[in-house]
Chains A and B, each alone.
Chain A
Amino acid sequence: MGRNRRPSKQMLLLFEALSARTQQWRHGYDLMKETGLLSGTLYPLLIRMTDQGLVEAEWREPEHPGRPARHAYRLTNAGVAFARTAIPDRRAPSAEVCFA
């Protein structure tokens, strides 16, 4: 039901960041920096996208010993397919403006 709704600008930003390297696990703080979203926006989006099966989350062992494990995210197959349909829709209007 939620997937039929038009994704928000913030969600599209997140999709763009995650679909740039679909196989790579990304940490929440790195996604915040890349998209410019604040944690108050990013985490509700990640929670919703995970509930909808668009994003998968996994605990990853820390890169440096002594650090806590971190939660990492990447798009699921359904998420990749959704991103393919959603992201061009967003880019189309700006392309029209450029050519006008």
Chain B
Amino acid sequence: MTLALSRAVMSLASRSLGTRRRTWAMAMEAEFGAAVEDGRPLMFALGCLIAAWREIGKQSEGRLIVANYALALGLLIPMAALQFQQATGFLSAAEGQPFGVPGAGAGPNPYLIWSHNSAIPILLIIRLLLGTAHLCLAWMLVEGDWPRVVKCGTLIGAAMITLSLFTGVLMLDLSPLRAQFAELAIELGAVVVFSRWHIRVLSDATPEPLTPVAYKHLR
């Protein structure tokens, strides 16, 4: 158990160091075996994690990693939670009496109840899709997988347009979506800024060259 935890901590430390300090990450991992033999793997791994996090603040790549985590945890995951919460609202609306979709206008409009309730399944699917896409976006951002970040962003944009069309046509009211459009614009704007930052960091960063022995170790 301790060994598995130590390996996980070691892996996190290694990933935190980024490409510019790849050799140091490998150096720490290589010494991990000696720490295991000495019976102190967790202590060693925690120390390496602290060392990696101390290095993060000193490099532009490290600062980008921290900013990615902050964006994912501070904006994208709360947005995903909001979408799932909205989806739960649809589910409870579908279970109860036909009083229309929650949040659609000031009160239930008797002429729109039928269209509201017929829209529930598709709106539910779109909300769930939006929530899942936000979670994926957060994950891909932290992973630094920019092609998939673009795909997730496109999916979110498409889902929001579909949502606004359905809401506009079936409920004749786009007011509940205003705040979400603003949040989405902030979110996608932040992702674009971060992608530019990533390109700048990549062009500045020159990974440490690997010697043949290190290369063999990496394989």
Contact = CB atoms under 8 A, between A and B. Distances in A.
Contacts of A32: 44
Contact of A39 (B30, B51, B214, B217): B51
Interface stretch (B18-26, B80-88, B188-196): B18-26
Given A29-B35, A57-B27, A71-B27, A44 B54 contact: yes
Nearest to A31: B31
17 contacts: A28-B31, A29-B35, A39-B47, A39-B48, A39-B50, A40-B50, A41-B51, A42-B47, A43-B24, A47-B21, A59-B213, A61-B213, A68-B30, A69-B214, A69-B216, A70-B30, A71-B27
Interface size of B as a range: 20 to 34
B24 A47 contact: yes
Interface string A24-63: 0001111011000011111110110000000001111100
A62 B35 CA distance: 16
**Listed residue (B29, B31, B216) with the most chain A CB atoms within 10 angstroms of its CB:** B31
B33 interface: yes
**Listed residue (A30, A32, A61, A67) with the most chain B CB atoms within 10 angstroms of its CB:** A32
B38 interface: yes
Contact of B47 (A33, A41, A58): A41
Contacts of B26: 71
Contacts of B48: 39-40, 43
A48 B103 CA distance: 57
Given A59-B213, A69-B30, A44 B23 contact: no
Contacts of A47: 21, 24, 51, 55
A38 B54 CA distance: 14
Interface of B: 21, 23-24, 26-31, 33-35, 38, 43-44, 46-51, 54-55, 211, 213-214, 216-217
A71 B30 contact: yes
A59 B214 CA distance: 6
Contacts of B55: 44, 47
A44 B56 CA distance: 11
Contacts of B213: 59-61, 69
Contacts of A39: 28, 31, 35, 43-44, 47-48, 50-51
